[in-house]
C-alpha cells in the first residue's frame, strides 16, 4: 500500500464504487490557476466490487453509446450531466483540467477499447462493470463531468509502456478503473518530479521567491504495487512525511522519482551525473540555495539518515 506521503503528493486513496459516486466531496480548485497544479486522484481498482454478484442477468446498457455520442455535444444520457469520450491521456488531461477550472467534479472510467465486431469492450470485467457504473452515474449532478476512456486493444493495454500505465497521475494497473480528480490544494507547497529539469525549474523558481526548498529523491513507483521499488525509499517515506508537517507554508517540498531499478543503477542516470544533485544513493534529501544566481546544495542527507527521525527532523528545521 502507498505511504501517506505519496498519497499527499499524488492525493490518491480508495473508496468503494458506490461511495465514490454517491458521497465523494471534491475540494475546491486552486484559485491561482497555476498551470503546474498537479492533478490529484482518488483511485479505485474495482473489478471485484463491480461484479454482478446478485445472480441477476446483466442488462444491456447505453453508457458507451452515450459517452461516444457526446464527443461533440458533451451532453446527457437520460438525465442532465456532461459527458466526454476519450482514447488518449492528453484528452483526459484536457477535459479534466478544463472542467476543474470551471468548478466541476470530474470522474473518469477507464476500460478496454471497443471490439468493432461486437460493439463491446474486449475486457470481460469492463463489460461487467459498465452497467453498474452507468447506474451510479445517474446520481451525478449537472455540474459533474463523466469521462469514458478507452485504453487500447488487448495487446496495447498489456504492454508495460501503455501511456495510461506510465502516466504520472493515472498510473493504471488494471481495468476497469474509476478515478475522480481534483486540483491539489497543496501544489504551492508540494511538487512531484521525475526529471532533473523539473527539479531544477521548481527549485529555481521557489528560491527566486525567497522560499526554502527541500527535495526527496526515491526509487520510482512500481506500477504493480503502487510503492517505490526501493526498500529504503519505502522505509524513509513515512518518516520524511511526518517531518514535512513542520514545514512553513512558504517552504517547497519536491518529491522526485529517479527511475526504475535498472535505470537508477546505470552510471549515466541523470540524477547521478547532474553537476549539482550528484546522487550516489537513494533515498536522498537535499536542501537548496542560490550561489551566484545558480542552484547549489545547502545540505544533504542520504541513505539510512533519511530513515532516522531525529536526523530528518534536524534537516528540515535547519534547512
Q: Decide if 98 contacts 39 (C-beta within 8 A).
A: no
Distance CA(305)–CA(211), nearest Å, equals 24
With residues binned 3-state (H G I as helix, E B as strand, rest as coil), the percentages for the chain, rounded to 5, are 35, 25, 40
> What are the sequence ranges of the domains in the chain?
4-183, 190-318
Residue 80, pLDDT > 70, answer no
In 3D space, the residue among 166, 279, 164 whose CA is nearest the CA of residue 233 turns out to be 279
Q: Which CATH architecture is the domain 4-183 placed in?
A: 3-Layer(aba) Sandwich (3.40)
Strands (E), 127-199: 144-150, 177-183, 190-193
Active site residue 126: yes
- pTM surpassing 0.75? no
Look at domain 190-318 and name its CATH class: alpha beta
Please tell me which residue in 68, 123, 243, 306 is annotated as part of the active site: 123
Q: Which three cell numbers stand for residue 252?
A: 517547497
Please tell me which residue in 126, 149, 187, 256 is annotated as part of the active site: 126
More confident residue, 83 or 45: 83
Distance CA(177)–CA(111), nearest Å, equals 7
Q: What digits encode the pLDDT tens for the residues 5-34?
A: 444 333 333 333 334 333 433 333 233 333
List Cα–Cα distances, 270 to 134, 219, 229, in angstroms.
Answer: 46, 13, 18
Pick the most confident of 31-40, 120-129, 183-192.
120-129
Q: Which three cell numbers stand for residue 68?
A: 461516444
| Domain 4-183 shares a fold with domain 190-318 | yes
Pick the most confident of 46-50, 110-114, 167-171, 291-295.
110-114
Q: What digits encode the pLDDT tens for the residues 215-274?
A: 999 999 887 777 899 999 999 999 999 999 888 888 999 999 999 999 999 999 999 999
Mean pLDDT of the chain: 76
Amino acid at each position: 500500500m502507498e505511504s501517506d506521503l505519496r498519497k499527499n503528493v499524488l492525493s490518491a486513496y480508495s473508496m468503494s464504487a458506490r461511495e465514490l459516486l454517491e458521497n465523494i466531496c471534491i475540494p475546491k480548485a486552486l484559485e491561482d490557476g497555476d498551470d503546474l497544479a498537479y492533478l490529484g486522484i482518488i483511485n479505485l481498482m474495482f473489478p471485484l466490487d463491480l461484479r454482478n454478484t446478485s445472480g441477476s442477468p446483466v442488462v444491456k446498457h447505453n453508457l458507451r453509446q452515450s459517452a461516444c455520442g457526446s464527443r461533440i455535444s458533451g451532453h446527457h444520457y437520460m438525465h442532465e450531466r456532461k459527458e466526454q469520450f476519450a482514447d488518449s491521456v492528453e484528452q483526459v488531461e484536457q477535459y479534466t483540467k478544463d472542467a476543474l477550472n470551471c468548478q466541476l467534479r470530474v470522474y473518469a472510467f477507464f476500460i478496454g477499447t471497443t471490439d468493432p465486431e461486437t460493439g463491446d469492450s474486449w475486457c470481460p470485467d469492463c463489460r461487467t462493470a459498465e452497467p453498474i457504473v452507468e447506474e451510479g452515474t445517474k446520481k451525478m449532478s449537472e455540474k459533474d463531468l463523466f469521462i469514458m476512456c478507452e485504453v487500447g486493444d488487448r495487446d496495447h493495454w498489456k504492454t508495460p509502456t501503455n501511456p495510461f500505465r506510465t502516466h504520472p497521475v493515472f498510473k493504471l494497473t488494471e481495468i476497469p478503473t474509476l478515478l475522480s480528480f481534483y486540483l491539489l490544494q497543496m501544489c504551492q507547497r508540494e511538487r512531484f518530479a521525475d526529471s532533473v529539469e523539473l527539479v531544477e525549474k521548481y527549485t529555481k523558481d521557489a528560491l527566486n521567491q525567497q522560499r526554502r526548498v527541500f527535495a526527496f529523491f526515491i526509487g520510482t513507483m512500481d506500477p504493480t504495487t503502487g510503492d517505490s521499488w526501493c526498500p529504503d525509499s519505502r522505509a524513509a517515506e513515512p518518516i520524511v512525511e511526518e517531518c514535512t508537517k513542520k514545514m512553513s507554508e512558504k517552504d517547497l517540498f519536491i518529491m522526485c522519482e529517479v527511475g526504475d531499478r535498472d535505470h537508477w543503477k546505470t552510471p549515466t542516470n541523470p540524477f547521478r551525473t547532474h553537476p549539482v544533485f550528484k546522487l550516489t544513493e537513494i533515498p536522498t534529501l537535499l536542501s537548496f540555495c542560490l550561489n551566484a544566481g545558480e542552484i547549489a546544495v545547502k545540505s544533504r542527507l542520504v541513505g539510512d539518515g533519511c530513515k532516522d527521525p531525529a536526523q530528518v527532523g534536524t534537516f528540515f528545521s535547519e534547512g
